[in-house]
């Protein structure tokens, strides 16, 4: 159904398959904020002319280990995948590859792209200057920054890759959106209301409030790095001069250019297994590695199905009906 909706709104079959696969995989691993809840947003952008189906990114410059791409307002999933594949190709020849992307729309769960590099025995990294001013600088109360996520994937030998993927804000905006759709509270420390007071009401974010940075000043510092790498370096701009679409930097580091691959991956296994074997602190059942929660949730949802909150499902049904796409309930 997701794929059919993308076809109905103008995508060719291959593009519809790619974007829908990335969204559903996000739901599968429990990252509902970047799953099918984004369908309505994408359709709205298509209708407004800010997202162009069937547009391939254009290479603006290509020099040595670096390149710049213009996504030309196409799907972020398409342009970011192309960018990482180009970075991997460069890294295979030169040891490392770094590619920036401008004019790219929302790209979904960013962990998808470093994993492209990890599957090629490389370390993959993405830095994103996301669209929207919704995050307050540390110590401030007004919106100024974006959620600007950082993601990486490091391959291991016996274990799955170590995968980090997180907004530099206390929460991804989409997670607040999911809680809002479910009628649930949010933890204190995520959001300030319009008067600058900590709030547990997700609706306050959409009524003049602001997200906080994670880890206080440390998340704030990383957020500024995303502004520089994903925004200024890509040419997308920063803060209020930003173009309004994602600015992305992706990097692939070829392990073989620095170390024996098996030796490196064995060391990552040692790192992972020693960390998991650590004695849990009070109130903690076990020590996990980044990527473990998503892998476990994926196994559960593969077995039991993917839950979609009623508010989100009803919105999907409405937009599908608008484009003549059948849903399981129609």
CA atoms within 13 Å, Cβ hemisphere of 104: 33
- Domains in the chain, number: 2
Q: If you average pLDDT over every residue of the chain, what do you get? A: 93
pLDDT tens-digit map of 87-99: 999 999 999 999 9
Query: Where does the pLDDT of residue 85 fall: very low under 50, low under 70, confident under 90, or very high at 90 and above?
Result: very high
pLDDT tens-digit series, residues 211-270: 999 998 999 999 999 999 999 999 888 886 765 578 999 999 999 999 999 999 999 999
Strand positions, DSSP E, the chain: 58-63, 66-70, 96-104, 122-129, 149-154, 162-167, 191-192, 198-199, 210-211, 246-254
Which CATH number covers residue 132?
3.30.1370.60
Domain assignment present for residue 89? The answer is yes
Are 116 and 72 found together in one domain? yes
Domain that holds residue 61: 51-167+215-268
pLDDT digits (tens, 9 = 90+) for 1-16: 889 999 999 999 999 9
Find out whether 17 and 5 touch, Cβ atoms under 8 Å.
no
Percentage above 90 pLDDT, the chain: 84
CATH number of the domain where residue 183 is located: 3.30.60.50
Q: What is the pLDDT of residue 196?
A: 93
Among 276, 294, 274, residue whose Cα is nearest residue 285? 276
In a shared domain, residues 86 and 139: yes
What is the rounded distance in angstroms from the CA atom of residue 169 to the CA atom of residue 213?
4
Residues 185 and 106 in one domain: no
Query: Where does residue 291 fall: left (phi above 0), alpha (psi -120 to 50 degrees), or beta otherwise?
Result: left
Tell me: pLDDT of 281 over 80: yes
* pLDDT recorded at residue 169: 94
Is 292 strand, coil or helix? Answer: helix
Residue 90: inside a domain: yes
What pLDDT sits at residue 266? 98
Token reading at 214: 């994670």
Is residue 11, in this structure, part of any structural domain at all?
no
Please say if the pLDDT value at position 50 is more than 80: yes
Largest CA-CA distance found in the chain, in angstroms, rounded = 56
Of the two residues 236 and 286, the one the predictor is more confident about is: 286
198 and 222 together in one domain = no
Are 200 and 260 in the same domain? no
Q: Is 148 a domain residue?
A: yes
- DSSP 3-state of 102: strand
pLDDT tens by residue, 28-47: 999 988 999 899 999 999 99
What is the model's pTM? 0.90
């Amino acid at each position: 159904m997701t794929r059919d909706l993308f076809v109905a709104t103008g995508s060719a079959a291959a593009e519809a398959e790619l974007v829908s696969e990335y969204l559903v995989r996000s739901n599968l691993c429990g990252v509902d904020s970047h799953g099918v809840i984004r369908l309505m947003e994408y359709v709205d952008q298509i209708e407004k002319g800010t997202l162009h189906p069937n547009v391939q990114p254009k290479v603006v410059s290509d020099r040595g280990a670096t390149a710049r791409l213009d996504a030309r307002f196409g799907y972020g999933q398409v342009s970011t995948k192309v960018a990482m594949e180009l970075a991997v190709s460069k890294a295979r020849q030169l040891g490392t590859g770094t590619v920036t992307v401008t004019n790219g729309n929302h790209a979904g769960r960013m962990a998808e792209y470093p994993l492209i590099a990890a599957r090629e025995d490389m370390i993959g990294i993405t830095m994103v200057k996301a669209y929207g001013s919704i995050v307050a600088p540390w110590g401030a109360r007004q919106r100024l920054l974006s959620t600007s996520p950082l993601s990486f994937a490091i391959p291991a030998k016996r274990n799955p890759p170590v995968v980090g993927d997180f907004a530099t804000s206390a929460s991804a905006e989409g997670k607040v959106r999911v809680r809002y759709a479910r009628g649930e509270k949010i933890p204190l420390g995520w959001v300030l209301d319009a008067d600058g007071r900590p709030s547990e009401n997700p609706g306050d974010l959409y009524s003049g409030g602001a997200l906080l940075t994670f880890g206080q000043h440390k998340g704030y510092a990383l957020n500024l790095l995303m502004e520089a790498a994903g925004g200024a370096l890509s040419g997308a701009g920063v803060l209020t001069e930003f173009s309004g679409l994602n600015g992305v930097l992706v990097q692939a580091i070829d392990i073989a250019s620095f170390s024996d691959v098996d030796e490196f991956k064995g060391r990552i296994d040692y790192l992972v297994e020693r960390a998991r074997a650590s004695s849990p602190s009070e109130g903690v059942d076990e020590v996990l590695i980044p990527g473990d929660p998503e892998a476990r949730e994926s196994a559960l949802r593969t077995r039991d199905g993917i839950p979609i909150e009623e508010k989100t499902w009803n919105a999907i049904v409405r937009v599908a009906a608008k484009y003549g796409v059948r849903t399981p309930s129609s």
